[in-house]
Amino acid sequence: MKPIIFILPLLFAFVLMYCSIRNNEVDLRAFIEIHVKTIEPKLKMMNLAYWNAAASGEKKYYDEQAALELEIRTIYSDKKEFEQLKRWKESGSIKDTLLERQLILLYNNYLTNQNDTTLTRKIVERAAAVQNKFNVFRPVLDGKEIDDNEIESILKKEKNSAERKKVWEASKEVGRAVASDVIDLVKLRNEAARQLGFKNYYEMSLIASEQSVGEITAIFDELKKLTDEPYKKLKNEIDMKLSKKYGIKPENMMPWHYEDRFFQEAPKIGTVDIDRYFKGKKIEDLAVAFYKGIGLPVDNILKNSDIYGRKGKYQHAFSTDIDRLGDVRTMQSVVDNQYWMSTMLHELGHGVYSLNIRHDLPFILRSETHIFATEAVAMLMERQVDNADWLDMMVGISQKDKKTISIEGRENLRMHALIFSRWTQVMMRFEKSMYEDPDQDLNKLWWNLVKEYQMVTPPEGRNAPDWAAKIHLSQSPAYYHNYELGELTASQLQAYITKNILKQNDAHEACFANKPEVGEYLAAKVFAPGAGLRWDALIKEATGEPLSAKYFAEEYVK
Ligand SMILES: [Zn+2]
């Protein structure tokens, strides 16, 4: 008898604990079921409104999108529900892993919306207004309106420095049009973050997306060190080559002398005109053939997509998952050249990720593990466009060009990686600093960072909000660092695929065309788990090790 008397209270305590775990799990499941019933149709309608807004530029769709976003934010602003989620989270009683993942994602969503509705409304409306200004703004050059594609095309070809300067300045005009709105938006977002006990919006956003400022800064500091010397060398080489083209001295290179208006992309300094292989070709058909060949068909994505540019339409490219059930689309302004081929592969990389997330996962987990993971896949696919074998298989290139491209393609990717990594340094540090102190001299901060990290000479006496011309600062706040994390992850995936899936040695030579095993691996290990696995766990599971800059450095920093 004695032992039983001794064990009984223990057993009782255990049963109590077990019951509370069971009860909490049952209650949470019930909560989620009701929540999803409300949120799922609203999210779908909002995604559709965003789609229609971008396709038409019509104000009514922007208003509709903003209204729906507000409705959704209002749902997530419920204080009672937030407190309940907090209790479940802190109780440690949710043991089922998929249920716990849902709880964490829900909690983070509620957390970032615990502001008073007036403030939330102001933020949503202001962001939509800025977006609208961006979409319809066309700078005037020599009395004629020009669009982004025309600006890019002039900066690619024009040899006259004065003409280049004029176009570059025109490309920054949108900055003046939106700067004060963007600063207001930053202050409103900060006010929201402070209401919730955070120092600023940047800090809050990172925590709510399962990252931290310290973690990100450490990675960027490491990257800076890794790239300092090779970048300096590369930048000198680029200045030498480009200045010769313009007939100026290398030390007189100015921001408008680079082929990209932010110098975020490498100027293509190859000798082969790859664009000519895409002339007259249907970019979307090439993409269909490529993705079919790796076992990740995209016909259904393209069927719902909006491929060509027109007046009033959104000028950038994006991919969207409308309903998490297979309605995945991409919006682009395709032209028959290599740039749009790579953009097409990029956007469809996002697309196949969304499309291949397990459909039997709970709704809340039916999205990518982290936003930068889907960027990584998009970048991995985009890199194929510089691969000589890929080009040969997809568009047929001459043997002579193939030889040259295999050397130049490697160099182009290396330049892209280095240049883009220094540009993301500017963006990440600017954004972090802007949210820490939006009242500082932002124009000066911008050019100081551009000078330090991109090593580009600021135009003398220029005091304009050139930073505000970058749409991401207003529309995708606290996001840009994810592009660089995407690059690092893409390199890690590429190294893994090369070695373990294709059984090759050189990651750069790895051509995915007609290799269904590549798609099979990505679908099973990267896409299928959705948000059921946290990003760090997923990368470890998919590649056998945690995310590091190692493979990026191995590939590009030599
Ligand atoms: Zn992307």
Can you give the pLDDT at residue 351?
A: 98
Compute CA 186 distance to the chain's CA centroid, rounded to the nearest angstrom: 20
Could you tell me the distance, in angstroms and rounded to a whole number, from the CA of residue 375 to the centre of ligand 1? 5
Nearest alpha carbon to residue 352 among 376, 316, 317? 376
Q: Which helix (H) or strand (E) holds 329?
A: strand 328-331
Angle at the Cα of 345 from the Cα atoms of 347 and 340, rounded to 5 degrees = 90
Could you tell me the distance, in angstroms and rounded to a whole number, from the CA of residue 348 to the centre of ligand 1? 9
Distance separating alpha carbons of residues 427 and 478, to the nearest angstrom: 10
Could you tell me the distance, in angstroms and rounded to a whole number, from the CA of residue 396 to the centre of ligand 1? 27
Distance separating alpha carbons of residues 170 and 164, to the nearest angstrom: 10
Could you tell me the distance, in angstroms and rounded to a whole number, from the CA of residue 371 to the centre of ligand 1? 9
Q: Taking a C-beta distance cutoff of 8 angstroms, is the pair 124, 66 a contact?
A: yes
Structure tokens at 227: 């790239």
Could you tell me the distance, in angstroms and rounded to a whole number, from the CA of residue 345 to the centre of ligand 1? 10
Could you tell me the distance, in angstroms and rounded to a whole number, from the CA of residue 13 to the centre of ligand 1? 51
Q: Which helix (H) or strand (E) holds 144?
A: strand 144-145
Per-residue pLDDT tens listing for the chain (558 residues):
444 555 555 555 555 556 566 789 999 999 999 999 999 999 999 999 999 999 998 999 999 999 999 899 899 999 999 999 999 999 999 999 999 999 999 999 999 889 888 998 899 889 989 989 998 889 989 899 998 889 989 998 999 999 999 999 999 999 999 999 999 999 999 999 999 899 999 999 999 999 989 989 988 998 999 899 999 999 999 999 999 999 999 999 999 999 999 999 887 667 889 999 999 999 999 999 999 999 999 999 999 999 998 888 888 899 999 999 999 999 999 999 999 999 999 999 999 999 999 999 999 999 999 999 999 999 999 999 989 999 999 999 999 999 999 998 888 889 989 999 999 999 999 999 999 999 999 999 999 999 999 999 999 999 999 999 999 999 899 999 999 999 999 999 999 999 999 999 999 899 999 999 999 999 999 999 999 999 999 999 999 998 888 899 888 887
Nearest alpha carbon to residue 179 among 429, 479, 474? 474
Query: What is the distance between the terminal CA atoms of the chain, rounded to a whole angstrom?
Result: 75
Could you tell me the distance, in angstroms and rounded to a whole number, from the CA of residue 400 to the centre of ligand 1? 33
Could you tell me the distance, in angstroms and rounded to a whole number, from the CA of residue 486 to the centre of ligand 1? 9
Tokens 């933020």, located at residue? 123
Q: Which DSSP string do the residues of 337-391 spell out, in sequence order? A: SHHHHHHHHHHHHHHHHHHTS-TTS-GGGSS-SSHHHHHHHHHHHHGGGG-HHHH
Structure tokens at 114: 């615990």
Buried b (16+ CB within 10 A) or exposed e, 114-135: bbeeeebbbbbbbbbbbbbebb
Could you tell me the distance, in angstroms and rounded to a whole number, from the CA of residue 483 to the centre of ligand 1? 8
Helix (H, G, I), strand (E, B), or coil: what is residue 330? strand
Could you tell me the distance, in angstroms and rounded to a whole number, from the CA of residue 2 to the centre of ligand 1? 67
Can you give the pLDDT at residue 2?
A: 44
Q: Taking a C-beta distance cutoff of 8 angstroms, is the pair 336, 280 a contact?
A: yes
**Does the predicted model carry a pTM greater than 0.75?**
yes
Structure tokens at 236: 């000198």
List, in order, residues 6 or more apart from 15 with CB less than 8 Å away: none
Compute CA 113 distance to the chain's CA centroid, rounded to the nearest angstrom: 22
Q: Which residue(s) pair with 319 in the sheet?
A: 330
Which phi-psi region, left, alpha or beta, contains residue 138 (left: φ > 0; alpha: ψ -120 to 50)? beta
Can you give the pLDDT at residue 286?
A: 97
> Quick count: other Cβ atoms within 10 Å of Cβ 298?
24
Helix (H, G, I), strand (E, B), or coil: what is residue 318? strand
Could you tell me the distance, in angstroms and rounded to a whole number, from the CA of residue 252 to the centre of ligand 1? 34
92 class by beta-carbon count within 10 Å (0-12 exposed, 13-18 middle, 19+ buried): exposed
Polymer length in residues for the chain:
558
Distance separating alpha carbons of residues 23 and 457, to the nearest angstrom: 63
Could you tell me the distance, in angstroms and rounded to a whole number, from the CA of residue 339 to the centre of ligand 1? 14
Cα distances from 461 to residues 289, 387, 464, 501, in angstroms, run 51, 42, 9, 54
Cα distances from 353 to residues 292, 519, 521, in angstroms, run 14, 10, 12
Could you tell me the distance, in angstroms and rounded to a whole number, from the CA of residue 224 to the centre of ligand 1? 23
Tokens 């310290």, located at residue? 214
Could you tell me the distance, in angstroms and rounded to a whole number, from the CA of residue 86 to the centre of ligand 1? 33
Could you tell me the distance, in angstroms and rounded to a whole number, from the CA of residue 350 to the centre of ligand 1? 7
Can you give the pLDDT at residue 315?
A: 80
Nearest alpha carbon to residue 211 among 480, 544, 549? 480
DSSP 469: G
Could you tell me the distance, in angstroms and rounded to a whole number, from the CA of residue 193 to the centre of ligand 1? 27
Could you tell me the distance, in angstroms and rounded to a whole number, from the CA of residue 342 to the centre of ligand 1? 11
